[in-house]
Chains A and B, each alone.
Chain A
Amino acid sequence: MKPASILIYGFGNPGREDDGAGVALAEQVRAAALPGVTVDSNYQLNIEDALLLREHDLVVFADASRNAVGQFRFSRLEPAASVSFTTHAMPPESVLALCLQLYQTVPPVYLLEIGGAAYNLREGLSAAGVENTAAAGTFVLELLRQPSFAKFEAAAVAQV
């Protein structure tokens, strides 16, 4: 089955090197101008993004990661059973939980973590960030070219 409306949502601060990897990936996808694919980006996730989830059939969050993810890691997100907060921003799982709670539905949401190496005050990605974002972009564009729920799910399972 094919999702009619897919959202690619990159978040981070492009003025802080690899923190902008998710936004850079979103721009790669935007440039591809794929039908049925909407692209958005912001500094970070927040409460209003629960509304955005409700408006799409499938969502991919893309963000830089300090976890050991190699070039990138693709995983299925579930609403957070217990919620803890960082600061003014919300963790992805909490946005799902908020969406589910308010609208009684949440689409399949995946997290594309892009391996980051540097987070200094500088515009542009590090060399490793460029390489990792390109690899993640190739990966997600392949999923988007002939998208299906099963294809996204299989890709997430394959990376577990």
Chain B
Amino acid sequence: MAQKITIEPVTRVEGHGKVTIHLDDNCNVVQSRLHIVEFRGFERFVCGRPYWEAPVLVQRLCGICPVSHHLAAAKAMDVVVGAGTGHGLTPTGEKMRRLMHYGQIFQSHVLHFFHLASPDLLFGIDADPTVRNVVNIAIQHPELARQAILMRKYGQEIIAATAGKKIHGTGAIPGGINKHLSSEERDAFVNGIGGNPDLSISKMIEWAEAAIALLLDHHQKNAAFLDSFAAFPSNHLSIVRKDGALDLYHGVIRAVDSTGNRIVDDVDNQEYLDIVAEEVRSWSYMKFPFIKQLGKEQGWYRVGPLARLNVCDFIPSPKAQQAFEQFRAYSSGKPNNRTMHYHWARLIETLHAAEVMRDLLHDPDLQSGELVTKGERREEGIGIIEAPRGTLFHHYRVGEDNLIKMCNLIVSTTNNNEPMNQAVHCAAVDQMNGKAEITEPMMNAVEVAIRAYDPCLSCATHAIGQMPLEITLHDAAGAVLDQRRKNM
């Protein structure tokens, strides 16, 4: 009997999503889809509000990456207030924002690796779920867990110091930033927060290097799985600095195909609508972006750490550059199309973020200098940033009355919509084809494929008691064959 398996929602993925896998009469996978309920009301909600509120308002979207939305909106509003399209800010304004952004990248990547990915990697995707978690990491690898906690805390403190507070930060404003970093704050970040040398920038760099070494050691022992699981060719898109360097805060739009041919050649970010379009599919609430010139079928692309390292020419910090060279050499200088290598790329970016923070913390522009610049008022602004999960587009039009009259957002997870569907299908075919019984490890394999992209479905709230996991098995006629539910 043909079957449809539904996993709803996906565990350890933000918000609400479900996976449906259709099996034929022989239990072969014939179709796999990831359904995500994307929140679209926000764009209407922000219309009618004064433009200067946008950098704070947009943080309501997400409790996971509010800093990315905060900065993308601020960058768009920089254009509106005539502060230019990326490099028009004062040195202090741009560097304070960069410190905030790289602090966010650092803590977000650390969380993903240690909390979400490492249990799968270190215990295996077929391990019992009661031991495949971060608490068991603390039991089996206590030093690793302690480091992860302190690295997260370090990044959070950087955000609080630059954004002003943990929730709904106000640091970035149209045209710049609203505060300096005090010399006391700088000294604490350099030498150790609260006098704790384990909370110093040198420790962050040391531990980020150690994390890469851990992953490479794991890779050496499990190369067959990590190289083949949910691997598929794709295009890759990100912003890069004009000289081709990795730059997560600002740059031009570049894309390469699966073999490395340049398909979008360093386009100004204000021209993104010439490059990217979005397709609506009847079975999903989330749109499917694609590169216009390649069309809907061929134009989909990956974003995020893997894509960024495939697109850039080099990393402008020495230790991360060294790691990058090893990463690129593994795929003979060509784009790396292996889904599980997102984890490797993410850790290289973690090291880069730590090196960038170190350099910024030693820059005197953070303690003095003009905070804000403004110029000729414009009615439209676009802000693009590389958020932890990938490229994030914010686009606004503002009326003469200073009220926002149009807002369009393409968030990182939306950019990765088709790649995540491809990954789900690869994992389903690999793990479930010809199997008469669906097991927990098989279900988890599908989730592992999705988790590599670190998706964030921003509409989620986190009240106690919500979001149970439901697994439903349907036959060809749609009748429920089996249903399991567990609290999360």
Interfacial residues, chain A to chain B (CB-CB below 8 A): 11-16, 18-19, 23, 41-44, 46-48, 50-51, 63-67, 80, 82-92, 94, 97-98, 101-102, 111, 113, 116, 119, 121, 123
Contacts and interface: CB of A to CB of B under 8 A. Distances in A.
A42 B142 CA distance: 25
Given A15-B168, A98-B138, A121 B42 contact: yes
Given A41-B167, A86-B12, 15 more contacts: A12-B462, A14-B168, A43-B167, A47-B114, A48-B150, A65-B463, A66-B464, A83-B130, A87-B13, A88-B116, A89-B63, A94-B135, A111-B464, A121-B60, A123-B60
Contact of A63 (B11, B133, B135, B463): B463
A106 to B, nearest CB: 12
25 contacts: A12-B461, A12-B463, A13-B167, A14-B168, A23-B167, A43-B63, A43-B64, A43-B462, A46-B115, A63-B462, A65-B464, A83-B136, A84-B487, A85-B12, A86-B12, A86-B462, A86-B488, A87-B11, A87-B12, A91-B488, A94-B134, A97-B135, A98-B145, A102-B138, A121-B45
Contact of B464 (A43, A51, A113): A113
A15 B114 contact: no
Give the most central of B13, B66, B135: most A CB within 10 Å: B135
Top-6 shortest CB links A-B = A15-B60, A43-B63, A67-B465, A101-B138, A19-B461, A48-B152
Nearest to B59: A15
Contacts, number: 147
B456 to A, nearest CB: 7
Given A80-B135, A85-B133, A64 B153 contact: no
B181 interface: no
Interface of A is mostly: loop
Given A42-B166, A88-B111, A64 B148 contact: no
Contacts of A48: 149-150, 152-153, 156
Interface in B62-118: 63-64, 66, 111-112, 114-116
Given A88-B116, A98-B135, A51 B149 contact: yes
Contact of A47 (B11, B134, B136, B467): B134
B364 interface: no
A87 B458 CA distance: 11
Interface in B10-32: 11-15
Interface in B148-206: 148-150, 152-153, 156, 166-168
B1 interface: no
A9 to B, nearest CB: 11
B463 A83 contact: no
B149 A102 contact: yes
B226 interface: no
B74 to A, nearest CB: 17
B146 interface: yes
Give the most central of B61, B149, B486: most A CB within 10 Å: B149
Contact of B133 (A19, A83, A88, A113): A83
B282 to A, nearest CB: 25
Contact of B488 (A12, A47, A65, A85): A85
A48 B166 CA distance: 14
B64 A88 contact: yes
A132 to B, nearest CB: 12
B477 interface: no
Nearest to B57: A15
B115 A88 contact: yes
A116 B463 contact: yes
Contacts of B45: 121
A89 to B, nearest CB: 5
B26 to A, nearest CB: 33
A46 B111 contact: yes
B193 to A, nearest CB: 11
Given A15-B60, A47-B148, A82 B463 contact: no
Contacts of A94: 133-135
B253 to A, nearest CB: 27
A66 B146 contact: no
B451 to A, nearest CB: 10
Contacts of B150: 48, 51
B466 A13 contact: no
Interface string B224-255: 00000000000000000000000000000000
Contacts of A47: 111, 114-115, 134, 145, 148-149, 152
Contact of A84 (B59, B133, B146, B152): B133
B465 A16 contact: no
A50 B139 CA distance: 14
A157 to B, nearest CB: 20
Nearest to A94: B135
Given A86-B462, A98-B134, A121 B41 contact: yes
Contacts of A80: 135
Contact of B142 (A82, A101, A123): A101
Give the most central of B66, B130, B134: most A CB within 10 Å: B134
B52 to A, nearest CB: 16
Contacts of B142: 101-102
B70 to A, nearest CB: 12
B258 to A, nearest CB: 29
B115 A84 contact: no
